[in-house]
Structure 1
Amino acid sequence: MKEAYYADIKEPSLAPRGRDRIEWAARDMPVLRLIQDEFKQTKPFTGVRISVCLHLTTETANLALTLKAGGADLFLCASNPLSTQDDVAAALVKEYEIPVFGMRGEDAHTYYRHLHLALDHKPALVMDDGGDLVSLLHTERTELLGRVLGATEETTTGVIRLKSMQQQEVLRFPVIAVNDAETKHMFDNRYGTGQSTLDAILRATNSLLAGRTVVVLGYGWCGRGVASRAQGMGANVIVCEVDPTRALEAVMDGYRVLPAMEAAARGDFFVTVTGNVNVLDQRHLERLKDGAILSNAGHFNDEINIVALEQLTLQKRSVRDFVTEYTYADGRKVYLLAEGRLVNLCAAEGHPASVMDMSFANQALAAEYLLHASEPLAPGVHTLPASLDKKIARLKLQAMGVAYDTLTVEQEHYLNSWETGT
């Protein structure tokens, strides 16, 4: 087999194992498989350079194969230094001849070097997870802006950054906020993050959740998922929120809602999932009880103030894979998982493939839409058209063997009329 000409991965010999795992994930990604079959026929990306900055997992590999089937000239790099699955990276390079730049545990210098190499690819389309590639294009690599037709963004955190850029009128090309599609955030964020976050916490700590207090900081779609799964395993769940509507929703869903300062002294496990900075700050860290376990399910490792945690600490040591013990001056011990990074991808495998099937179907169709929309999209943040969102839902139901109702002609007419009243 011809060697991929360009790659920076940790262990090429892992490729056969990675291939097997990619194929295993594909079993649970029927929607993406149908799109891949369509792309093989239509070739929507022929000659189009796409730089992909996503978590390098088995599911991402199947997205890459779908884009390649559509004719794309791909370049992949990691969107997090600790989330790369090295066997998957090796398989993409050795088995599928796709350039990959990412390895588990890479330092910050290597991470940003890979991002710059992804932009050296001179992409027409960018797929981002967290907004780092788009940010670099608008700061350090502005010479490439004229080449970029558009981008897609996978995460809540990234969409927040993009909307800030749009508000400040600096965003120079259209971006599809894939995260805002209903078949993404309602399923990936809620069911995917909910399950995979607890999976990671349990793998890392081997702890029992039943009867323990889990504090969830943030009650968006991801927070809802974490809270419901923790409650389902018998935990007592406390929710912390800054939005009154979401706080009210958490109360109505049966959770205790407390300010973070009160929750800090009560929690056994903490999960930050807000997309904001220093959600667990020094004032909260000072109140933690002995044995508290801290984790972050947001994209960046700045939701827990790790600098403040270090300042409170006399001694720290690694006690298990992905578990660091911090000993305070008074003898209390606090445990941080996965260095405060995205715990579900750093200490586990991330979302199940059946959930990512919809998320990456959104990515694939969003990329096609950016290129072939009937009218070019203006610079700014856009949502995926509802027709494509519903197409993904229909395909998923079809794959699951689930039938559903459709409106009758009479019902369609009624919904589109105004004359009939009481």
Structure 2
Amino acid sequence: MTRVAHVAAVLPKPKSISLSALREINGVMPVDQLDRARFADPARVLTYLESRAAGQRLVLLDVGGYFAPALDHVCSQFSGELVGVVEDTENGHQRYADLGKVPCPVFSVARSPLKDPEDYLVGQSVVFSTEALVRSRGDILHGRPAAVIGYGKLGRSIAAMLHAKHIPVRVFDLNPVQRAQALSQGYRSTHTLADALAGAGLVVCATGNMALREEDFGKVVNGAHIASVTSSDDELELSALAGLYERTRVEDHVTHYSRTGHYFYVLADGNAVNFLHGASVGAFIFLAQAEIIAALSLLATGQHDTGMQEVSADIRQSIAAHWLDYFDGAS
């Protein structure tokens, strides 16, 4: 990215920081704290951006829609020019799309075909890490039906991996199109979240948009394990359980939630469970990273319409061809 533009600051996503990466960039470029509650305040976001890039042409590289609540205010009030945003995640894509009238170009990589290999492998790593944590307390996945909440690309990969392990899978998604796809691919699709949770000994949340809220936890069956594919702040309303459930750490990264007559386990404090084991997807991650840099370059060098945008098919094909040439030996 530094070959394309000047990096004004890096804001590590709080619950997925790589300490080795943080050490590497500290001192090389400014590193600041990222906080979703703070960045929900447009005035505070504007003040922050002015402190780092006043009067400059600015592109925001986002991972989770952190800048979405302040986008209108920043576009109209920033002393420089907000050229646009590049968003990497489905959660962030939804946050920007939900704005309705997006005031600047937002290039989304979230639904790119170049991200499909990464999403597939992340889903596989989620199941690997979930099983490792369940086994750490002397239990196994087999014998407990699973509920997959959210049937996007990650949810599909998770369901397929669980199915390959001969674990019955039920799927719930708010989008009926996704539920129809799940049904066509051999999974039981439920019309309500409560139906998906009923009898599920494993619950994997893959919506990126608050899969389980306070009232939903009471529907989780006794002894169930709950895993997430992203930050707990985005997926599980665990903060609402304070005072309602007693929390006890029973193993590393396994927390027991209990109240009279009800208990369940939350893995990795509700954060992305696969990050505990590196969340590695190998060289496939370079495909999406290359598209992020391509989108940054497009914003930095040209004019684009406001609203949600995607990199062209020609650019994606060029990225894939270069990637194959380097990693697979294909020409």
Common fold: TM-score over 0.5: yes
Query: Alpha-carbon deviations, 1:308-337, whole Å to 9, x = none?
Result: 544542x2122233322111211x321122
Q: Distance in 2 between matches of 1:267 and 1:156?
A: 25
Equivalent residue, structure 1, for 2:66? 132
When the two chains are superposed, the root-mean-square deviation of aligned CA atoms in Å is 3.1
Report deviation, 1:110: 11
Q: Could you report, residue by residue, the CA deviation over 1:58-107 in whole angstroms, capped at 9, with x for unpaired residues?
A: xxxxxxxxx1244533421112x22111222011225xx2332359xx89
Question: Which residues of 2 match residues 255-334 of structure 1 at below 5 A?
Answer: 255-258=187-190, 259-277=192-210, 279-298=211-230, 301-310=233-242, 312-313=244-245, 315-330=246-261, 332-334=262-264
> How far off its partner does 1:135 sit?
3.0
C-alpha distance 372-302 of structure 1, shift in aligned 2 (>3 A): closer
Aligned residues: 322
Please state if 1:120 is matched with 2:51.
yes
Report the identity percentage.
24
Aligned to 1:83: 16
1:297–1:342 contact (8 Å) kept in structure 2: yes
Residue 339 (1) aligns with residue 280 (2): no
Unmatched 5+ stretches in structure 2: none
- Aligned partner (choices 103, 117, 131) of residue 172 of structure 1: 103
Cα deviations by residue, 1:272-324 (Å, 9 ceiling, x for unpaired): 112333x33445422322211112224562433325544542x2122233322
Contact between 1:267 and 1:288, CA under 8 Å: does it hold in 2?
A: yes
**In structure 2, what is the Cα distance between the partners aligned to 1:379 and 1:370?**
11
Q: 1:338 to 1:115 in 2, by over 3 A?
A: farther
Q: Which amino acid aligns with 2:113?
A: E
Matching residue's letter, 1:395: H
CA contact (8 A) 2:15 2:231 kept: no
Is the radius of gyration larger for structure 1 or structure 2?
A: 1
Supply the distance in 2 between the matched residues of 1:108 and 1:134 (Cα, whole angstroms): 12
Change (3 A) 1:139 1:270: farther
CA contact (8 A) 2:247 2:257 kept: yes
Structure 1 unpaired stretches of 5+: 1-66, 405-422
What residue is the counterpart of 1:395 in the other structure? 322
Match of 1:385 in 2: 312
2:75/2:103 contact within 8 Å kept: no
3-state SS in 2 of match to 1:316: strand
2-side partners of 1:163 and 1:338: how far apart? 30
Per the TM alignment, residue 237 of structure 1 is displaced from its structure 2 partner at its CA by 1.6
Is 1:201 the counterpart of 2:134 in the alignment?
no
TM-score (norm 1): 0.68
Asked if the contact 2:170/2:187 (under 8 Å) is kept, the reply is yes
Distance 2:104 2:36 in 1: 30
Q: 1:192 to 1:99 in 2, by over 3 A?
A: farther
Local SS of the residue matching 1:152: strand
TM-score (structure 2 length as normaliser) = 0.84
Equivalent residue number for residue 30 of structure 1? none
**Is the contact between residue 39 and residue 69 of structure 2 (CA under 8 Å) also seen in structure 1?**
no
Q: Shift of the alpha carbon at 1:256?
A: 1.8
When residues 355 and 266 of structure 1 are mapped into structure 2, their CA distance, relative to the original with a 3 A threshold, is farther
Residues 69 and 77 of structure 1: CA distance in aligned 2, closer, same or farther (over 3 Å): same
